[in-house]
Amino acid sequence: MKITGLTAILLAGLAAASLVFAQSGSVAGEWQTYSGDSQGTRYSPLTQINTTNVSTLKLAWQYGIAATTQGPTTRPVPSQAVPLLIRGVLYTSTTQRTIVALDPTTGREIWKHTLDKGGAPNRGVSYWPGDREFSRRIFAGTTDGRLLALDAETGQPVTTFGDRGAIDLRAGVGADKYPERPYMMASPGLVYRNLIVTGAQGQEDNSEGPAMDVRAWDVRTGKLVWTFHTIPHPGEPGADTWPKDYWMTASTPANWGFGSVDTERGLIFLPIGQPAAQYYGGHRPQQNLYGSSVVALDANTGNVRWYFQLTHHDVWDYDNAATPALIDVVQNGRRIPAVVTVAKSGLMFFLERETGTPIYPVEERPVPASEIPGESSAPTQPFPVKPPPLSRLGITPAEIFTGEPTHEKFCRDLVEQIGGIHNLGPYTPYSNKEFRIVFPGQQGGPNFGGVAVDQNLGYVFVNSRDLGGMGRMDKTPDGDTVAYRRFSPLGRGSVNARFWNPATSMPCQQPPWAHLMAINANTGDIVWRVPLGTNDDLEAKGMKNTGAFGQGGSIATAGGLVFIAGTNDKRFRAFESRTGRTLWEGRLDWEGHTTPMTYMANGKQYVVIVTTGINAFALN
């Protein structure tokens, strides 16, 4: 299909969503979940595309939509979907309010399910393989708070599931009290045996709304099996880390990222986001479990087996959004089943899978105290001794951008406008007395793109950006449920609360502004780190390897490669996994702010990425 106008979804090669191939082969490979497998590794054993031939990749096909209509006006809509390849069929959601099944060798539509209401899931769909009595199913969460079950062969609703093929997820979480507040699945459901586990996403800056409970449903009938309260109810462990009765009206924290499964141990690992409001917690003193944590649940009951909180009493928007990935850490001949998780704070933690005990020591270090009236910030935060930080944790006046006159002037004028660079190091709290610059900002170092794992190398791959948050906390008018909200000199809204030029998306500190790196899981050391992305305007003026803002994550393959887009420079790249050397670079029609995937079809290996005609992360 010819692509014109705004592109909502592209699947295929070197331009747009890349589908590329090398030589012929006969071994088929699938991509069965958002993370490739249930362990969250984003790893493929395919080797047909490898270090010797990746430079020959070319466009195979693309599937696209000319324009995107959502609501009363036509506008671009972002997507972070990762397609699935199951039994020779590619499944994905689109921004056209559809779920589609495609031929993986041509992009031809096999079936298309158009939603009768609500929008399609932003990050894709889930798959259940069926059993002797029930057919294979595709599950999709809609923006109006429903979970759909579709027949994988036809795309038709499975009428015996829930209410004629759908579950109303808003029921049972207090949504009737807040009919105007958003509630939806932000990531695909996590399938474990005959259960599908659903998280939710609602608000981030308002404290009241529907509960963000995690729930497990029978994949065959839609019957509720168990519930995990992200804010513990009275009598549950952790209830004393919140004010009394806070759970009755609170709208966060939420499990909006994708989880992982250890089927042998019957454990699921979930990333849990930050409590609202994002930057002020005077109404929610104490530790706030299970906010900004990784939680291990008994997959059959939903009971908490262990938790590890990455940020205490989060007032930085340091959600835990990345999929916790399973890996075995080998030390002194001992193989330790582990889970690795990255925080938006720029830190990575390796935890023992059965207990949550850190494999590398974690120190509770003192951090600056908040001075905002009513706020009681945590006196310490957890820092791993290894690995070292993955992103910038502070800034000094000497580190302001130099080297290109126009951008340098913008940055110096901005610093003068806010009264200088005020930063107190890691976990700098926002202030009601002065503008502060916080690293990482709310977009994080790492984010939902998470990690890819190559168990054979023992490497964990992660991309991280250096973009500061900027602002001052101002008193809100009487009647506001949040006493203080962040204000930016460039205007309200998170896009203008970043230490950058919003017109160019260029940060105001010295580059590189983003990195891709490999961490040796067995030692905790960074093996290699390279700038990720470039700025075409600066490159034309001689400034190369600046790194570029973006989101999304990487995948690793047995062919010795790491594939990633995840930048606003419209590039898709392949790196040598052992060294970080760039082996291939293709230009996309649009930016790719999601994670790629790869599969085999008709004897050829393909790589796919979804792109859209908008950088959602520069606009909100």
pLDDT in tens, 246-290: 999 998 999 999 999 999 999 999 999 999 999 999 999 999 999
pLDDT bucket at 304, cuts 50 / 70 / 90: very high
What whole-number distance in Å separates Cα of residue 63 and Cα of residue 82? 14
Q: Does 302 score more than 80 pLDDT?
A: yes
Q: Residue range 576-596: average pLDDT? A: 94
> What does the pLDDT read at residue 481?
86
Q: Does 574 score more than 70 pLDDT?
A: yes
Element holding 410 (H helix, E strand): helix 405-417
With 0-12 / 13-18 / 19 or more C-beta atoms within 10 angstroms meaning exposed / middle / buried, residue 45 is exposed
176-209 burial code (b ≥16 CB/10 A, e <16): eebeebbbbbbbbbbbbeebbbbbbbbbbbbbbb
pLDDT bucket at 547, cuts 50 / 70 / 90: very high
What SS3 state is found at 497?
A: helix
pLDDT bucket at 68, cuts 50 / 70 / 90: very low
> What does the pLDDT read at residue 494?
66
- The residue that leads in pLDDT, 78 or 607, is 607
pLDDT in tens, 98-108: 999 999 999 99
Q: Residue range 55-82: average pLDDT? A: 68
Are 227 and 217 within 8 A, CB to CB? Answer: no
Are 229 and 237 within 8 A, CB to CB? Answer: no
What whole-number distance in Å separates Cα of residue 299 and Cα of residue 191? 10
pLDDT bucket at 202, cuts 50 / 70 / 90: confident
Mean pLDDT estimate for the chain: 90
The torsion angles phi and psi of 267, rounded to 5 degrees, stand at -115, 140
- pTM for this prediction: 0.94
| Helix, strand, coil percentages, rounded to 5, for the chain | 5, 30, 60
Which of 79, 27, 74, 71 shows the shortest CA–CA distance to 49? Answer: 27
Residues in CB range of 577: below 8 A, 6 or more apart: 454, 457, 459, 461, 518, 556, 557, 560, 561, 562
Q: Does 17 score more than 80 pLDDT?
A: no
Q: Does 43 score more than 70 pLDDT?
A: yes
Count of residues making up the chain: 620
- The residue that leads in pLDDT, 61 or 232, is 232
- The residue that leads in pLDDT, 592 or 329, is 329
- The residue that leads in pLDDT, 493 or 384, is 384
User: What share of the chain in percent tops pLDDT 70?
Assistant: 91
> What does the pLDDT read at residue 490?
82
